[in-house]
Structure 1
């Protein structure tokens, strides 16, 4: 049976911090719904109603485009080990870029990762847990190095060009703010 909470409790924060993977769900007013997996050491609980994650360069930038139009968002974690659990954080999000003052404030919270393109801050208005009894048990082996290696090889100038060429518009042609 699912439970609802108005805030991220200390127990829920501990659960979040132990996970290696989370999912981000967004949608604009029309067009495609996007669900995006996120990994690495890129998420921080800021307080009982706010989280931030360092969004790394990817083949698309759907989340940013959707949030420019409609800032609703859902983050989801599944327990792949231990007792079953699914956690969702519902709220509104703001995207910050390297050009924004908030970027300078938030960036020190994260490890230095090549290709960091945005920091997304979510103001949480509902925390929900559910059973997760159908989620399989999986063993975590390691983070993948391919993304960081690729961004390191490209260097800042080529990464910026990649953003311009591949991350400036969503699949539906919406601007992403890059």
Structure 2
């Protein structure tokens, strides 16, 4: 059944590469705030090393992961086999947010196809890799990526996306400031 590893093995990396979707989980420290779980599609995940991954995060209606990482850094990524042999793989780690305009962004952005609406890169230093059976996960067939978010972002344009992020992505639903919110506060104070 479940096995624990200190780093991703080549077979873990191969499994991750086959998945069309993954899930990101994070939560505030206080125990009162909301646990966030977000599905991620498109080709946005990169394995940087056996103990580090990164994903290109696209603009959405909230920015809970960023707020939680700003507060405590805890993050879990989960990959589930919906086709082929059953398996669930989780990456537990500490995450950080990389914003455009920084040297870290310049260093990492070249690894991605920058899709419309790209707002940040989440980097995860993995400290535990855990696999489990996934025997109860049903089969689903992959039909393709939705283009709705990319069309929406392209129609908004750069200024429209900046305005949207200021309105929707600076504070979490629990009142925590996101990394984008921190940057906007610093830019305003300057």
Residue 101 of structure 1: how far off its partner (Å): 1.1
Q: Which runs of 5+ in 1 are unaligned?
A: none
Question: What does residue 6 of structure 1 align with?
Answer: 6
> What's the TM-score, normalizing by structure 1?
0.98
Q: What secondary structure does 2:110 align onto? A: helix
Question: What does residue 28 of structure 1 align with?
Answer: 28
Rounded Cα–Cα distance in structure 2 between residues aligned with 1:169 and 1:132: 35
Say if 2:108 is the partner of 1:100: no
Q: What do residues 64-121 of structure 1 show as CA deviations (whole Å, max 9, x unaligned)?
A: 0000001011100110000000000001011110132100110011112011111011
Residue 145 of structure 1: how far off its partner (Å): 0.2
1:123 aligns with one of 122, 125, 128? 125
Q: Which runs of 5+ in 2 are unaligned?
A: 181-190
Q: What secondary structure does 1:109 align onto? A: coil
Summarize the alignment of residues 25-174 of structure 1 with structure 2, pairs less than 5 Å apart.
Answer: 25-30=25-30, 31-174=33-176
> What's the TM-score, normalizing by structure 2?
0.92
Say if 2:6 is the partner of 1:16: no
Residue 5 of structure 1: how far off its partner (Å): 1.0
Corresponding pairs, count: 178
Rounded Cα–Cα distance in structure 2 between residues aligned with 1:80 and 1:7: 23
Rounded Cα–Cα distance in structure 2 between residues aligned with 1:161 and 1:54: 20
Question: Following superposition, which runs of at least 4 residues in structure 1 exceed 6 angstroms of deviation?
Answer: none
